[in-house]
Amino acid sequence: MNQQKNSCTILTDIELEEIEKEKHCYENQQAALIGTLKILQKKRGWIEDNIIFAVAKILKIPVSEVEGVSTFYSQIFRKPVGKHIIRYCDSIVCFITGYKNVEFEIINQLKITPGQTTADNRFTLLHICCLGNCDKGPTIMIDDDIYNYVDSHDVKRILELYS
């Protein structure tokens, strides 16, 4: 058993292998941080505190740096999330094109507010400052699927796609 595995027994052999591959893509191990967090989140759903410590040890960087990066990026989750992540754009452009009506309908349908997860763990609702579709707003994104020109009448139909 290698020394790295002994120090990070909370990670699986498969996770460690994937992290090693990620590290080899960069001259500096620190540059592999976001990719490493994404690998672990994909397998586990979110990044727990013990994962922060393990990643710091593997990449030989301070725990505070791993924590800082993991809390800065909106695509990294530091608490459990639902099976499907709903992101809706609340930029000024989407505001002008009517995102408030879409937001109201999502909240009404799911009975949660931004940052919350439904009781059945089906959906987590997050507002994002921009989804990069300013010419097609309002925009929502569920998992990797993007919906443009959404209005409140579309919300129920879209949510039903994710049962």
Q: How many CB atoms lie within 10 A of CB 107?
A: 15
Q: Is 129 labelled a binding residue?
A: no
Cα 74 from chain centre: 6
**124's tokens:** 């987590």
Q: Name the helix (H) or strand (E) containing 128.
A: strand 123-128
Q: Is 8 labelled a binding residue?
A: no
Q: Is 94 labelled a binding residue?
A: yes
Q: Is 134 labelled a binding residue?
A: yes
Q: Do strands 123-128 and 84-89 pair parallel, antiparallel, or not at all (unpaired)?
A: parallel
Binding residues: 89, 94, 130, 134
Residues at the annotated binding site for [2Fe-2S] cluster?
89, 94, 130, 134
